[in-house]
Chain A
Amino acid sequence: MKSYDVIIIGAGHNGMAASIKLAKTGRKVLILESSSEFGGMASSNILLNDNVNQPLPHLINHLCSKSIKDLDLIKYGLKTKNFFIPSISVDKNQNYISFSGSYGSQIDGIDSNEKANWEKLKKRMFFQANLLKKFLYKSPINRENNSLFDKLDFLKTGINLRIKGREEFQEFFRMMLMCVADILEEEINNDLLRGLLAFDATLGINLGPRSPTSYMGLLYRLAGEFNGAQGAQIFPEGGIPKLIETFYKSSTSAGVEFIFKNEAKNLIFENNKVTGIKTQNGEEFFADIVLSSVSPIKTFFDFIGPQRLDTGLLREIKSLRYKGNVSKLNLLLNKIPKSSFLSNEQLSARITYTPSINHVEENFNPSKYQQLPEDPNFELLFPSIIDETNINDNGIIASIIIQNTPYSLKDGWDSSKKLLYSKIMLTLEKIFPDIKKSVLASKLISPLDIETIFNVPGGHWHHSELQIDRMYSLRPVFKYSSYRTPIHGLYICGAGTHPGGGISGKSGINAANQIIKDQKQNNHYYEKRID
């Protein structure tokens, strides 16, 4: 009989983040991973050909300095020198703007008037994002965490907001739930800039820029930081796999045990308490605490099981929107592509094809009816151009994230993949005229593929929809937003919990803190709880 203090299901970055926190307090921690690699959705499971792989995510913008410190990432090889990645928003007529620094501190390609407008808007957005940031990196207030001390944050934020003046105060409450398109149209005129911001606000969620509350998506992004640089988008030295490796190294050095290729099958219960895990191949592991870093859908349905959930909760979990709409296209090219209007230097930027708000909105429309967009929006990155340590002898990698490609398609994914590929290629050819000839290998990963490869129901990058009605204490559901579940000893920490989204490790850290707190108090909350 193997027994541990904590067993964590899934070696994604959140699972590993939690394991580091827990192991550092002297707990004996085991991580069970179904695949042969650590990293979850950020792992290098996706092979382009026999030698080359490129993971799903390619940039980070939510790794705050506190997390880096908490997880000892620098000690295990994270370089904070890093690369701020500029964005270049292009259209098919060779127009472009370039957007650099930590979220647009410099912009080229717009006139001075427009620059002033952008500065004004940016200042306001940063101020608002800053107010919200505090809540992003903390366990949410909910049924259990609602002491006066917890509520103090709200009061402090209110005061901070009010002393900024009447105007900012009013604008905050007016803008918060608006659609991003209205805000952009009120303040700036440049289509490429508007398009880029509209894309950033809605990337990864099922909203268009004209859907109310979509501005929240932009604030969420701007509330992110990398090691203190707010709103920055970063390409970590060595790429995402290197970053994930630092999580792994930190975790193993803290004494965490990993078992790969052994999928958790079901939990072992004793009354309403979890005591261990039974794996696919029949092994049993025992622990008082089990922490699941997989999607809440999977945790509640597969691990806990409907028979142990009350009707209301079952209904709520069922109603979670967890169908992804982002696909990934990885290309292997035989040489650095030549652009007809971008310089070679500019190829180390994130290139977005987001010509205007209306274009982004029109792209969103078909996805509501399970159809592919006519002229998809995407962002493109060349990891091997950005970072020489990431150069591959086999060729140049192009990493493309495609928005508005729904999980379930009316025509099915099998026949649609080719179509989507050719649509992307059509746009790429306008930027890089001879790119098509230089493609050595390509791999398109739809949300459906993400579901099968990474074992994430719905293939959603954030495990479940990251919209305002499922954020903060409403994530994944109000009752269990403190990383707990109805089962004594079972906790959750995946991207489906607050704050979710991006490689931040925060969900994992928060969950670990919750476990430590609960065990310290010893009088476990379940006993005093009245449901």
Chain B
Amino acid sequence: MNSQHKNYDVIIIGAGHNGLVNACYLQKAGLNVLVLEKNDWIGGAAVSRELTPNILYSNCSYVCSLFRPEIMRDLELPKHGLQIIGIEGGTTFTQDGRYLANYRNYHSKRREMARFSVKDSEAYERYSRDVTRQCRFIQPLLMRTAPDPASFKSKDIGEIFYLIKQFNELSPDQMAETIRFWTMSISDYLDEYFENDVIKASLALSGIIGTALGPMSPGTAYVLLHHYMGEVDGSIGSWGYARGGMGAITQALSSSFKSFGGELITESEVENILIKNNQAKGVALKNGNEFYSSNIVSNADVKRTFLKLVDDKFLPPSFVKKVKNFKIRGSSGKVNIGLDSMPDFPAVPKGDPCIKGDIHFTDSIERMEKAYDDWKNGTWSKDPFLDMMIPTATDPTMAPPGKHFMSCFVQYCPPKVYGKDWTQEKKEAFGETVIKQIEDYSPGFREKIIHMEIRTPKELEDEVGLTEGNIFQGELTFDQLLFNRPVPGYAQYRSPLKGLYICGSSTHPGGGVMGAPGRNAAIEILKDLKKPTSHARSAYEVI
């Protein structure tokens, strides 16, 4: 191959959304960038795949909201075909045959809550104000590199002063509230506002999605915030579908990347990163090819990058230990279903838009927490918490008329069952648990299934390359946020090796289809290479 002798300015390992965002910013700055992807498709966990004829599956990530609007504009993604459609509503079914709709419209949402508790519907006003205030505090930090508090460099000290200044702008009472918010469990936090179990359960779900924590674990209030920070069309906390599935995001990114002149090669799995004299030199592929560059960016998570792609001997032992101690815990599975027709939900009046959004069947915090207890014991939840969506009810481009794609995110699901590998039998039993739960609320559901894909953390790890199948590339607990993410001292996208960077969700600000880690990493790399960064705009004052 000729290309193997060609020298690139930067090589990026992995064409996930963060890798592509990173690639776009670097290429746009005039660098010569190569992206290597192990699969024959791109997108990592933000993909649309035709797993059964004519139906597109968003088979990993399934909704969009966190993706930073600044990045969308910088990279002109709408021009490259990206379109986000807001979700009209969602619903939580109760065991006694009722439902609580969660409409996008604020007043409709409160009226709906009032059906369950008038007091809670009033409390919601207070709640949304308080949570939005926390968002406002945290959101500007997403698009900034976290400072290293142990460093005496002027930029770190400057950044710390910026953080202190941000914090000082709060009133003393708000400061106290912020500290409490960061350390509380979502269950305790909601108890301070609401009385009704169904309302609490429907709000608590954002606190646990993707994490190996239950709603009663301290720290889940922050996870809620992490999900709440997103926005669609400037509307905070709302979610949307990418038209054509989540792959539309990465397709648009790839198209944007290519329009700047970048090069992307698929089916090229990196075997290891070449190091010489403490400096990255290039990558060696599984198929024997080698590509050379003195700047390597890994979109893989921190464990995969430093424990698998780089030989131990090149890294300081203390760093390796820290990486090993980084907590990545697989806690969620996914069941993707192709449907013959739209399922019926007798509890909801016909035509109500609330079934076009996220559908849940867990109507109490206790049930959620019990699902977590099963996971702690080493198995999948027997009464799991589902975050279920039918994107094709809103977006007709993904399936032929009448047919539907349904995405069920299942919490909790371990990477191994009681310490043993998944077998086909167990996988099917896991899928059956999910189907059964849906069937309870939608009679005749089972007959509508035309195709089904069951994904445990194991499949996510094998296919996408996420360690333990954790969707955030690492737990969002305090010890792994901000300047501690991924490990203390290396939170600025750099590594102990010169020229080796990481840009995945393992880095600040963490997971979700957000793009911020990729962008922030690009800025740090450009600074190291003394290139201009003016094409990356800073965070909007959005809220």
Contact = CB atoms under 8 A, between A and B. Distances in A.
Chain B residues touching A, majority SS: helix
Contact of B176 (A166, A182, A474): A474
A451 to B, nearest CB: 20
B301 to A, nearest CB: 18
A162 interface: yes
Interface residues of B toward A: which range?
A: 20 to 34
Interface in B479-501: 479, 483-484, 488-489
Given A474-B176, A479-B173, A166 B183 contact: no
B157 to A, nearest CB: 12
Contacts of A368: 216, 366, 369
Contacts of A166: 150, 489
Interface string A311-334: 000011001010000000000000
Interface string B118-154: 0000000000000000000000000000000110000
A310 to B, nearest CB: 12
B469 interface: no
A170 B488 contact: yes
Interface in A139-184: 142-143, 146, 162, 166-167, 169-171, 173-179, 182
Given A211-B218, A468-B218, A473 B484 contact: no
A369 interface: yes
Nearest to A312: B173
B150 A178 contact: no
Contacts of B159: none
B477 A474 contact: no
A320 to B, nearest CB: 10
B322 to A, nearest CB: 9
A361 interface: yes
B327 interface: yes
Given A162-B150, A177-B479, A319-B191, A213 B219 contact: yes
B488 A174 contact: yes
A356 to B, nearest CB: 13
Most buried by B among A171, A174, A210: A174
A174 B218 contact: no
Nearest to A166: B150
B219 A212 contact: yes
A407 to B, nearest CB: 15
Contact of A212 (B180, B217, B325, B366): B217
Nearest to B181: A469
B200 to A, nearest CB: 14
Given A469-B180, A478-B173, A361 B376 contact: yes
A368 B188 CA distance: 12
Given A173-B488, A467-B218, A369 B366 contact: yes
A469 B177 CA distance: 9
A474 B489 CA distance: 30
Chain A residues touching B, majority SS: helix
B345 to A, nearest CB: 29
Interface in A349-403: 361-362, 365, 368-369
Nearest to A170: B488
A153 B240 CA distance: 48
A315 B364 CA distance: 23
Contact of A469 (B179, B217, B366, B489): B179
Interface in B201-229: 213, 216-219
A206 to B, nearest CB: 9
A212 B376 contact: no
Contacts of A369: 366, 369-370
Contact of B180 (A169, A171, A186, A474): A474
B310 interface: no
Interface residues of A toward B: which range?
A: 35 or more
Contacts of A319: 191-192
A207 interface: yes
Contact of B477 (A178, A321, A478): A178
A210 B150 contact: no
A171 B218 contact: no
B161 to A, nearest CB: 14
B179 A170 contact: no
B424 interface: no
B160 to A, nearest CB: 11
B9 interface: no
B172 interface: yes
Most buried by A among B150, B191, B489: B150
Interface string A176-219: 11110010001000000000000000000001001111000000
B540 interface: no
Given A169-B150, A319-B191, A474-B180, A207 B488 contact: no
B318 interface: yes
Contact of A167 (B192, B318, B369, B484): B318
A173 to B, nearest CB: 7
B477 A212 contact: yes
Contacts of A468: 183, 218
A469 B183 CA distance: 6
Nearest to A214: B218
Interface in A445-486: 467-469, 473-474, 478-479
Contact of B479 (A169, A174, A315): A174
Given A167-B318, A174-B479, A469 B192 contact: no
A358 B425 CA distance: 27
B150 A170 contact: yes
B149 A173 contact: yes
Nearest to A213: B218
Nearest to A171: B488
Contacts of A186: 325
Contacts of A213: 183, 218-219, 478
B484 A321 contact: no
Contacts of A146: 172
Contacts of A321: 188
Interface string B29-68: 0000000000000000000000000000000000000000
Contacts of B327: 182
Contact of B192 (A174, A315, A361): A315
Most buried by B among A186, A468, A473: A468
A474 B488 CA distance: 28
Contacts of B180: 469, 474
B373 interface: yes
Interface string B179-190: 110011100100
A291 to B, nearest CB: 24
A178 B218 contact: no
A146 B377 CA distance: 46
Given A210-B376, A211-B218, A175 B325 contact: no
Contact of A178 (B149, B188, B479, B483): B479
Most buried by A among B370, B376, B479, B483: B479
Given A173-B483, A174-B484, A212 B173 contact: no
Contacts of A174: 479, 484, 488
Interface of A: 142-143, 146, 162, 166-167, 169-171, 173-179, 182, 186, 207, 210-213, 315-316, 319, 321, 361-362, 365, 368-369, 467-469, 473-474, 478-479
30 contacts: A142-B172, A146-B172, A171-B488, A173-B149, A173-B488, A174-B484, A175-B479, A176-B478, A176-B479, A177-B183, A177-B477, A177-B478, A177-B479, A178-B477, A178-B478, A186-B325, A207-B218, A210-B217, A211-B216, A212-B213, A212-B217, A213-B183, A213-B478, A365-B376, A368-B366, A368-B369, A469-B218, A473-B176, A478-B172, A478-B176
Given A368-B216, A473-B176, 9 more contacts: A173-B149, A174-B488, A212-B219, A213-B219, A368-B366, A468-B183, A469-B188, A474-B180, A478-B173
Interface of B: 149-150, 172-173, 176, 179-180, 183-185, 188, 191-192, 213, 216-219, 318, 325, 327, 366, 369-370, 373, 376-377, 477-479, 483-484, 488-489
For the complex of A and B, the 6 pairs showing the least CB-CB separation, nearest first, are A170-B488, A478-B176, A177-B478, A212-B219, A319-B192, A213-B218
